[in-house]
Structure 1
Amino acid sequence: MKRRIFILSHINTERLEAIMAAEGKACWFVGAAYGGREDQSSRFIEERIWENGYEDRYLELVKAIQPGDRIAIKAAYTRKTGLPFDNRDQTVSVMSIKAVGTVTENLRDGRHLKVDWIPVEPPREWYFYTGRTTVWRVLPGDWRADALIAFTFEGKPQDIDRFRNAPYWKERFGDRDSEDPRFLWTRFYEAVTDELPVSVDYEWVMQAIKRITAALPEGNLLRNAQFPRFASPFNILTLFNLPQGHAARTAAAVSVARYFHIDRSVPDSFDEIPTAEFEEDEAPPIREPRKFAERLWELFGAAIRFADTDESEGEARTAFIAAYDEVCHFFGKNDYTLTIDLYWARPWSYLPLNRKNRTYIRQVLGIQLPDALTGESYLELIETLENRFQDDSFPVHSFPELTQAAFLSDATAQQTVSKGVKTENIAAPIVPYSLDDIIADGCFLKREKLEEMLERLQQRKNLILQGPPGTGKTWLAKRLASALIGQKSDRRVRAVQFHPNLSYEDFVRGWRPCGEGKLTLTDGPFLQIVQEACRDSQNKYVLVIEEINRGNPAQVFGEMLTLLEADKRTPTEALELCYQKDPRNPERTYIPPNLYVIGTMNLADRSLAMVDLALRRRFAFETLEPLLEEPWRNWVREKCRFDAALLDRIEQRITQLNETIRKDATLGKQFRIGHSYVTPAAYPPIDDPERWFRQVVETEIGPLLEEYWFDTPAQADECRRQLLEGF
C-alpha cells in the first residue's frame, strides 16, 4: 500500500493540487470499456479525453459534469481469491482505479469530456463499495463516499475492517463475533450451484437426479417422483426446496451434498428460505419442452455470469435480460417463480419475489413493484434495493435479510405445494430475546434491576419508565417488551406516541373520512391491539406509548382507563364503548390479561402538566438515572474503541454538569443530562472521538442548556465552556 501511495505522490505537484482543489464537489467514476469494446483507458489518458460510448445512455448525467470536477477511470469486477482479507470463499466486489484527473472542458453533447489525466500505475484496488454503472456520481458527505474519494484522489488507504463490518457486508465478511449464523445457509446453496454445469447436458442432470433421489430414505416422496426428460440445473436445486417438512428437505439436501461432495454444512433450518411456488390452477403443458429446457439452461448460465461480475451493464446484463424474457415467453406470462430459482442459485445477488416478499416490499419498505416483470424491470428493482441496503437506517441490508424479515412478519407461512405433496403450515422461526440480550445491546442497568422491572410489569400489567432526558427510556421500553414476550416480534409489540392533539377518536375508536364525503367508524391502534390480544390469548402483547404525558391520558383512554387496572382484565368487567358500530346490539369490551402497556415520560419537559392521579394509580413507575459508570465505560470502549482516558474526561464533565443542574433551584435532578447523549452507536465507527464529543455538545447538549437557562444565558455559556475545555 505504501508503494502505491508513493506513486501518487511523485506526480506533477500543480496537477495534483488542481485535483485536490475540487474537494467538496461531486466526483465522477467512469468506465473505459463498455458494450463489449476493448478497454479505452490508454487512449483516453494519452488524448486527455473521456468518451461516453453509449449514444442513448448517461447523456444528461455527462452534461452535468462541470469543469474542475474530479474524475477517475475505474473498472469494476469481482474476485474470490488473492484478497487482502479473509473473504471466506465469498465473491467480493472490486473496483480498480486506473487514472485520476480534473475535467477541463465539457463539450455539452453528453458524450465527450476533456480531462487532465494522471495515470495510476499500478492500478489501486478498492473493495466492497463499488460503482457498477459506466458513469457513477459520488457526492461527499457519506462516510463510504468520503473514504472512496480520499482513497482515489488523496492516496489514503481503505479501512477495510470498517467496510467489512458495515451492515451491508458484515453478514458475509464481518468479524466472526458479528456474523449472523442464520445466513450461513447461503454458503451451502452457492456451493451446490457451483457444482452445476452452465452448458446444456441433459444426461448429466438426469443421472444426478436419479442417484440423489435413490439415496433418499424410504417414504420420501421424491424417491418415486417423475421428473421431466429435459431437466435443467434448477431442477437439482428444487430437490431440497419443495414445500415439504424440515426432515424431508434436510434429507434431500444431505443427499445432494453427498453426491457432489459438498464440504459446506447442510442448513440447520430452512424456515426462511422460500420454497418452490406453484400456481393453484393447473398450468398448461409446455408445448416444446426441449426448447423450454434449453432456455432455462441459458438463463441459469446468464444468471451465474451476471452475478459473478460487478458490471451492471454490458454483455452479461444484456444476456441475462434476454434469457429471462425468453423463459417468460414460454410461460406466456411473467412468472415470479423464476426469481425464487435465481435466489437459490445466488442468494446475495437475486431477489426472490415470493408472495411474502412482495407484500413486505410494498407495505413495509414502501417500494412499488413493476407492473410488468421483465428481465429489465427485475434488475432495476434489484438495483433499487441494493442502493437502499447500503443506508444504515434501512430495515434490511441484503436479500437474505429481507426474505427473513418478510417471513417473520407473519405468525405462520402458508406454502403452496405441488401436486402430490401435502400442504402444511410452517411456524415462523422465533428469534429469542431475553434480559441478557438487553444487556448485550448496551443497557447499563444491573440485571437485578431489569428483573425487578420485568416483575413489576408482569404484576401490574402497566409500567411507566420516567427520567431525565437521554436516559434511554424508549430504547429500554421496546426491549423490555421483547424480553417480556421472549422474542423479537413486530406483530406483538406495537409503539405509538402521544401528543397534545391526540384524542379518544384517534386512539380508541372514532369517525374517520373514508372517501366520497362519507365517514366510517374506525378502530384506533389501542382497540386494534386489544382485539388481537383477545384472539391470541396464548401469547403476550405489548403496547409501548412514548411520551405518555404529552397527551391528556384521561381524554385519550376514555373508559379504557378504568379497564387498564390489573384486577379488571376479565370479561365480567367489560364496558360499552362510547362509539358503537351497531347501537341496537351494543358491544362490550375489556382489556385481556395478556396485553401489557409500557409508557415513557420525560421529567424535564416543562410544557406538560402533572400526570393525572387516575393514571398514576394504574401504572407502576420506574425512574431511570444517568448512568456514566463502569458498564457505560466498558461498552463505549469495546464497541466504539474510545480511549479510556477520554471516557474518564467525558464522565467527569457530564457528572460535574449534572451536579450543577441538580443544585440549581430552578431546575433539579430531573433535568440532568442522560448517558444516551454521550453513548455513540456501535456503528458506524467514529474516527475522531474528541471531535464527536464537541459536536454533541455544540448541537445537542448546548441547545438543551440554553433552554434550561433561557433567562440566564451566561450560565448556559459557562456550562458549555466547561464541557469543552481541553477538547
Structure 2
Amino acid sequence: MYFYRLMVLSIQQRDILLRVFDEFVATWLETPDGRAGLALYERGVREGRASYRGILARLDRGDDVSDEILLHLLPYANTRANVKRGGWIHVTPGLQGDMRREYERRGWIKRKDWSRVANDIFRFFYAALDDPANLDAHVASFSSVPYIKGIQSGILTPILEAVRPKRYAVLNPRVAKTLHHLTGEKFSTSIGEYPTANATLIELVKEVGSELTERAGLRQFLAVRLFNLFSWWSVETSALKGKKVSRSVVDSSVKSDDHSSTKEPQAFYREEGRTSGGLGLEECAAILHTSVEQVKGWRDTLHQKKQMILFGPPGTGKTYVAEHLARLTVGETSGLIEVLQFHPSYSYEDFIQGIRPQRSDEGGLDYPVIEGRFLRFCREARLRGDAPCVMVIDEINRADLSKVFGELMYLLEYRDRSVPLSGDGRLFSIPQNVYVIGTMNTADRSIALVDHALRRRFAFIEVPPDYEILRRFFGEGSGSAEGVDLDGLISLLKGINSAIDDRGFALGISFFLVENLRERIEMIWRTEIKPYLDEYFFDDPGKVEEFRWERVEKRVMR
C-alpha cells in the first residue's frame, strides 16, 4: 500500500546539517581527540555486547547478576574511579559516578530495592532487544515500575544501540537538543517518550546516514553512532545555535510499513499477552464450582512437586482449571503466567532452542541459535525474584515429550543443578520459582503411553466428569437452565459414559456450561456430542442410535 510519509528534515534543514557536519569532521573527528573518541566508542560497543551476552548466560545458569547489570550495561564516564570499579565506559555516558550512591542520596531509590531495580532494567533491555516492534509496550511496562525515578533514556539507550544499532539510537540531552535545533521539535529524554524520539532518529539516519559516513570517510562506522558523536560535539561547541529554521514539511510518496504498536502496556502478570489479576483460594473455588479443599489440594500438590498434569476425558474443564490454578499460584505477586499449546509437530527447537535462518542487516542469511518459549520464560522468571511464575501447557501429550523436553527431563527433578544445552552448550537451570501445569486429554493418548521418566517428574491429577458442577453452575446464577431437566441431563450423561465404559473416553460436562442452555442444547448435542459418539462407536452404530437428539430430547427438556 502506498501513502504519504513525512520526511524528518526539509531540504533546508538537511543542508544545514551537512554543512555543520563537515565542520565537525574537520575540527574534531579528524583530530587525535576525534580518533580517540571513535576508538573508545567502538571498544565500548564491543564490551557492551559481550557483557549483555555474558549476563544472559549467567542468568540462564541461575546466577545473581544484579551488580553486573548496573555496572556493565549502563554507560559510565571515562574516569579513573569508574574504570577501577569496572563500569562500562561509554563515549557519551549517562552516569558520571557511582549510581547507587547518587540515587540513594537523592532519595530516588532505596538500598533494599536495587536488586529489583536491576532486574526490571534488564527485563526492559531483554524485551526491547528481543521484540523491537513492540517498543511502546515495553517502555510503558517499564515506566509503570514505581521505583525508577531518575532512570532516563540517556542511561538506558546506549546498550540498546550497542546491541541492535539498526533499530535503536542513543537518546540523551545532547541528542535531544540537536534534534530540536535541526527540526524545531522538542524531544524529552524521559524513557516514556523514547519510542517517538527513536523513530525520528532512525528515520533521520535513513535519510542522511550514507552521506554522513561518506563525508566522514568512515563507511564501516554506523551513521547512528556518528550522529550521537556529532550531537555531543554540536552542543559542546554551540555549532547549531542560531541555525534553527522553520519547519518545512516535505511529502514523499513511498512504500512503507506501519510499525505502530497496538499492544496494551504489559503488566507484571500476563497470560499469553493479556493482563489479568491473581486469585484467592475461596474465589478460585467459587469460579471452578468446586470445594475449597479440592482447590487447596491441587495447589499444595503443585507447590510440592512444581510440575503437574491434569488428565481426563474431553469436556471436564482441565484447561480452565489449569489457568485458574495458575492465577491462584501467582496471586498478587509480580509473577508471570504463560499459556501455550503443544501439537504433533512441536519440537525441542520450539520449546528450548534451535538454529533458525534469519535475514541479516546486510541482506544475507544468518543461522543463529534462537531461544524457545521455555528458555525465554525461565529468564523472565529469574528477573521476578521469588514471585511464582507458571507455564500452562495445554494438550501436553500431543507432542513427543521426550524429544521436546530434552535436558529438562533431568532439570525438572534437580532444580539446583545446571546442564549444558545441546544447541549452544550454555549452562542452564530451571529457576525455583517456575511451575509447570500440563493438561492431557486421555481420549487422545493414554497416560500409559507417556514416557516413564517424564511421568516420574510430574504429579498426575485426574479430572473426571463432575456432574455436580452442572447443578452448582446453574444453581449459583452463572447461567440459565430454565426449561432443561438437569437431573435428566445428568442421568443421560451417566448412561452414555456407562455405555462407553472407558474412563479415558468419558463424556464431560463442560459442553453444557453455557448461558441460555435451553436455546443452545440441541445444537450442542447435534454438532459436538453426536459426532463424538459416532467416532467412538464407529464399529457399533446401533449404540449411537439410542443417543440421537430425537430420542433423548424428552429426557432432558421440560
TM-score (norm 2): 0.50
Which is helix-richer, 1 or 2?
2
RCO comparison, higher one (Cα < 8 Å, 6+): 2
